[in-house]
Chains A and B, each alone.
Chain A
């Protein structure tokens, strides 16, 4: 039976939604376990290894604990905003992933669809605008908590996220000037094959954004760390000096929503880094591996697509591990150091990068 195009698109959308939702929602428990295990290995400890095999069920035990904890709302908080803040934190974190392509545009029974939740042609603008919404969750949480430490955390996060958003957007500007597109799928597509800088082909290296725009990659990665509130930029939390910052007054499931938002931000940032700078879903060497197997054309095509999807998630996971390694390597920045790095280093560097990219493009075109 031949399925209609609309039916195929419907099933494809459901499958894509299921995949992305399952991955995003399972990031928090799995990453919480992975982070605790890996950080303890880095600190010559063992980490949680009692609940289930290798301690894998530790997150499940934690989740059960969160659910059965008393759902406490302190008396001094603004209740409505206090309850709204965790949701405000989580939603933008999940929303950004909608435009991240995790596979190529595939063709099934003559119907083409992208392995991407929403194929927006303004992908870049969507990413920057939604990621700037993330600060509201933290601000609302900190002000609604009616606590001096929370408010200090909120003030810090406002300053930090707005400063680094600027550098992030400017670094991406140079990238989209180079790729000549704001659509994330097109940016991923134009990173295929060997490294090619203005028509000069270089062997051995894949055609990834990080090799074409190393400065933009550096600025974007630093800004991504700041946007996700991860160490060395976790000033809004700052366990040592402001206890836990914006989520100080939260407990139980509400606190774990903040926790989930942090990991959702991490996986989204990793997805964006993979798409912009690590070649998106391109798997270097996949064609070469597949050429060793005798397969029909259809099998070859779908094997390639599967390898590309796996390649994308592998890049995301590797970058998440990089987040963890950096977290347990660097100490927290002081507030003035943070501002100095944001405004006096990253923003000017990003501007210089834009001018240099523009000049290079102008020279190469003429």
Chain B
């Protein structure tokens, strides 16, 4: 919407306004505080609720996941792929647990859906890579220590 603003003579004269603007710029120049981070040395602290890279929680070296298939069901990006298998003690477990991180939209639904608190989203946000990676189970299991 076009808003008509009434300007007084001094505003329309413009020179004084330029001077005021220049003073504001100068103030920022000499007294302004940097709001940027010098990234590799300084890192931003995200909140604990930040949804970053996934990991699978383990107890005594055994993953919590029982391959119940709730997370691939709820996943809106369809990026989780699980192949279920059976352990010697008749326990169901994921033989294959893959997350296509390029398709993931980091909504966190998998974390909410999981009944065993197995799949979690960490604070890790540096996921740049030289290849189009699909995170496999071995990778996801060791990510917790990097958190």
Show the binding face of A for B, using Cβ within 8 Å.
38, 41-46, 218, 325-326, 328-330
Decide: B34 and A38 in contact? CB cutoff 8 A.
no
Q: B25: shortest Cβ distance to chain A, in Å?
A: 4
Decide: B35 and A329 in contact? CB cutoff 8 A.
no
Stretch with Cβ within 8 A of A (4 or more), from B16-24, B106-114, B130-138: B16-24
Decide: B36 and A325 in contact? CB cutoff 8 A.
no
Instruction: Chain A residues near B18: list those with CB within 8 A.
Output: 326, 329-330
Instruction: Chain A residues near B21: list those with CB within 8 A.
Output: 329-330
The residue of chain A having its C-beta at the shortest distance from the C-beta of B28 within the complex is A42
Decide: B35 and A44 in contact? CB cutoff 8 A.
yes
Known: A42-B32, A44-B32. A329 touches B24 (CB 8 A): yes
B147 within 8 A of A: no
B33 within 8 A of A: yes
Binary flags per residue of B53-74, CB closer than 8 Å to A gives 1, else 0 = 0000000000000000000000
Known: A325-B22, A330-B18. A45 touches B28 (CB 8 A): no
Instruction: Chain B residues near A42: list those with CB within 8 A.
Output: 25, 28-29, 32
- Residue B32 contacts which of A41, A218, A325, A326 (CB distance < 8 angstroms)? A41
Beyond A42-B25, A44-B33, A46-B36, 8 additional contacts (C-beta under 8 Å) are: A41-B28, A41-B32, A42-B32, A44-B35, A45-B36, A46-B38, A325-B22, A325-B26
Q: A63: shortest Cβ distance to chain B, in Å?
A: 25
A329, B25: Cα distance in complex, Å: 6
Q: A337: shortest Cβ distance to chain B, in Å?
A: 10
Interface-central residue, A41, A326, A329, by most chain B CB under 10 Å: A329
Decide: A325 and B34 in contact? CB cutoff 8 A.
no
Known: A38-B29, A41-B29. A46 touches B24 (CB 8 A): no
Q: B22: shortest Cβ distance to chain A, in Å?
A: 5
Instruction: Chain A residues near B32: list those with CB within 8 A.
Output: 41-42, 44
The residue of chain B having its C-beta at the shortest distance from the C-beta of A327 within the complex is B25
Decide: A44 and B28 in contact? CB cutoff 8 A.
yes
Decide: B34 and A44 in contact? CB cutoff 8 A.
yes
Instruction: Chain B residues near A45: list those with CB within 8 A.
Output: 34-36
Decide: B22 and A326 in contact? CB cutoff 8 A.
yes
Q: B89: shortest Cβ distance to chain A, in Å?
A: 56
Instruction: Chain A residues near B36: list those with CB within 8 A.
Output: 44-46
A-B contact pairs, 30 of them (CB 8 A): A38-B29, A41-B28, A41-B29, A41-B32, A42-B25, A42-B28, A42-B29, A43-B28, A44-B28, A44-B32, A44-B33, A44-B35, A44-B36, A45-B35, A45-B36, A46-B34, A46-B36, A46-B38, A218-B15, A325-B22, A325-B25, A325-B26, A326-B18, A326-B22, A328-B25, A329-B18, A329-B21, A329-B24, A329-B25, A330-B18
Q: A142: shortest Cβ distance to chain B, in Å?
A: 29
A326, B29: Cα distance in complex, Å: 12
Q: B3: shortest Cβ distance to chain A, in Å?
A: 17
Q: B127: shortest Cβ distance to chain A, in Å?
A: 23
Q: B44: shortest Cβ distance to chain A, in Å?
A: 15
Q: B58: shortest Cβ distance to chain A, in Å?
A: 40
Interface-central residue, B21, B25, B33, by most chain A CB under 10 Å: B25
The residue of chain A having its C-beta at the shortest distance from the C-beta of B25 within the complex is A329
A44, B34: Cα distance in complex, Å: 4
Q: A137: shortest Cβ distance to chain B, in Å?
A: 29
A42, B25: Cα distance in complex, Å: 6
A329, B26: Cα distance in complex, Å: 9
Q: A4: shortest Cβ distance to chain B, in Å?
A: 52
A326, B24: Cα distance in complex, Å: 11
Instruction: Chain B residues near A218: list those with CB within 8 A.
Output: 15
The residue of chain B having its C-beta at the shortest distance from the C-beta of A322 within the complex is B22
Instruction: Chain A residues near B24: list those with CB within 8 A.
Output: 329
Interface-central residue, B15, B29, B32, B35, by most chain A CB under 10 Å: B29
Instruction: Chain B residues near A330: list those with CB within 8 A.
Output: 18, 21
A56, B24: Cα distance in complex, Å: 27
A45, B25: Cα distance in complex, Å: 13
Instruction: Chain B residues near A326: list those with CB within 8 A.
Output: 18, 22
Instruction: Chain A residues near B25: list those with CB within 8 A.
Output: 42, 325, 328-329
Q: A317: shortest Cβ distance to chain B, in Å?
A: 15
Instruction: Chain B residues near A44: list those with CB within 8 A.
Output: 28, 32-36
Instruction: Chain A residues near B28: list those with CB within 8 A.
Output: 41-44
A42, B38: Cα distance in complex, Å: 17
Q: A220: shortest Cβ distance to chain B, in Å?
A: 14
Instruction: Chain A residues near B33: list those with CB within 8 A.
Output: 44
A45, B33: Cα distance in complex, Å: 8
The residue of chain A having its C-beta at the shortest distance from the C-beta of B24 within the complex is A329
Decide: A329 and B34 in contact? CB cutoff 8 A.
no
A43, B24: Cα distance in complex, Å: 11
The residue of chain A having its C-beta at the shortest distance from the C-beta of B36 within the complex is A45
